[in-house]
Amino acid sequence: MPSLDSETTAPSSTPSRGEALFSDEATRPTTPPSSPPGFPWERVQQKQDAASENAITQSSPPRKNAFSVLGKRKPLEDVSGNAQPRKLAKTVKTKDGGSKLVQMQMSLGQEVQKRCAQCGMEYTASSAEDRKLHDKFHKQNVQGYDVGKDFMSKTEHSDRRPRRFDGVKDDDAIVLLDCTDPWQRKRKGQAVLEIVQKELGAVEIPEKDIWDAKGKDPDNPKFKVYLHIRGTKCIGFVLTEVIREALEVLQPEDMAPKPSQPTTGKTTALGALQARKDAEKQNLLEADKRPIVLSTTKSPAMLGISRIWTSPTHRGQGIAKCLLDKSLAHAKSCHHLEMTNSIMCIQNNSKSTPAQKEARTSAAKQLCDRRMAIKESDVAFSQPTESGARLARRWTGKAYGWLVYVD
């Protein structure tokens, strides 16, 4: 019986069943890299695996981290494209000159804009600067604009060029300003005009049209300003201008004239006069409730009341009526002065014959006579407010038939 020798006998390809613990085919685990493989065929397999890994590493690109993708970090820059510019907050330096404080304002749903019921100015109640401006404007509007102590004393007045007239009270005065005055006095008149236009909500008139003397008649400029001064405060204002035409205020068609009450034999002349005055007063009251209806046909006019105003605390004292009376009287004197200057120019013209001088002098006198005959019916009011229309009716004494113009 031949003997079994392990050295001479070739190893079997199939292991015995007694050596398999968990499966029919036993597998030998891979030897760690630090240990050499136990069999020659395992060493060949390890070399093949290492070669394949090197090939894959060389063919694939190097792995990138986040910084290699995003690039080197840089500080942020301001975006200028279509971004809207921001308003810089107001900065205030501290007393020690250190860090700056930024003035901020919190919006908690409160009312931002506030409108004063007396002066009409809108301002931000939470802003100290707005409150200060409102206090100044409110004081000027309600109590009058302070023209200064030297304003009255520096008013030049003469019989040929009257610049000062009597006011409502004995110590009051009405001062005339126009384009021939020094610029310091013009600034006073312009300051009052700005207050008036803000309260009335009127369209602003360019300063150049009122105060520029270039190319204007110094004896009778187009615009004139009359200030009613009490103490050092201007409490009344009127701006007049020379006009040539206006539109008549018509009575609405739906208003039928009331029949006059029949008079009896016992009615006296004084009673009839009183009845007529009562009827006119009633017509004025009814006209105040009606809208203004204008004619489409233009009527001749001479004097335009562009702006008229009285300080709220001084209303009801006849200041506006006094300003209208003085401006009308001064317009007559200006026409007389204009006639005198025209006649002097005609007489001093050496190129004209005596007959020509006489004819031109006669024409100048006739024109002046018509202008000097100016009366309330020749005065027009510029787009009057409700209170302005009421003043126009009382001053002219007409519920209808007075004039309105557009400046």
Q: Containing H/E element for 120?
A: none
Question: pLDDT tens across 332-386, in order?
Answer: 887 666 666 666 777 777 777 877 777 777 776 666 666 667 899 999 999 899 9
The residue with greater pLDDT, 27 or 301, is: 301
Amino acid found at 283 = N
Is the four-CA dihedral 24, 30, 32, 37 of positive or negative sign? positive
Identify the CA nearest to 401 among candidates 268, 302, 296, 294: 294
Residue 2: what pLDDT? 47
Strand 293-300 versus strand 245-250 pairing type: antiparallel
CB atoms within 10 A of CB 233: 17
More confident site: 298 or 361: 298
Highest mean pLDDT of the ranges 42-51, 101-110, 164-173, 284-293: 164-173
Return contacts of 398-401, CB within 8 angstroms, 24+ apart.
399/251, 399/280, 399/283, 399/284, 399/286, 399/287, 400/249, 400/250, 400/251, 400/287, 401/248, 401/249, 401/377
In terms of Cα–Cα distance, which of 32, 334, 383 is closest to 203?
A: 383
DSSP 339: H
- Classified as helix, coil or strand, 314 is helix
pLDDT of residue 3: 46
Residue 70 has pLDDT above 90, yes or no: no
Q: What letter does residue 220 receive in the DSSP assignment?
A: S
Return the structure tokens found at 193.
């005009």
Q: How is 34-55 classified by DSSP, letter by letter?
A: TS--SSHHHHHHHHHHHHHHHH
Q: Side chain identity at 236, as an amino acid letter? A: G
For residue 223, the Cα-to-chain-centroid distance in whole angstroms is 24
Residues 119, 142: contact at Cβ < 8 Å? yes
Average pLDDT, the chain: 77
Spatial separation of the C-alpha atoms in residues 165 and 222, rounded to whole Å: 20
- For residue 287, pLDDT beyond 50: yes
> How far is the C-alpha of 398 from the C-alpha of 377, rounded, in Å?
9
Answer whether 246's CB lies under 8 Å from 383's CB. no
Greatest distance between any 2 Cα atoms in the chain? 185
Taking phi first (over 0 means left), then psi (-120 to 50 degrees means alpha), and beta for anything else, what does residue 231 get?
left
Match 């100015």 to its residue by tokens: 121
Between 136-150, 272-286, 340-354, the lowest mean confidence (pLDDT) is in 340-354
pLDDT surpasses 60 at 69: no
> What's the pTM value of the predicted model, to 2 decimals?
0.64
Contact 331, 240 (CB under 8 A): yes
Quote the CA–CA distance of 176 and 185 in Å, as a whole number: 10
pLDDT recorded at residue 102: 58
Lowest mean pLDDT among 38-47, 147-156, 305-314: 38-47
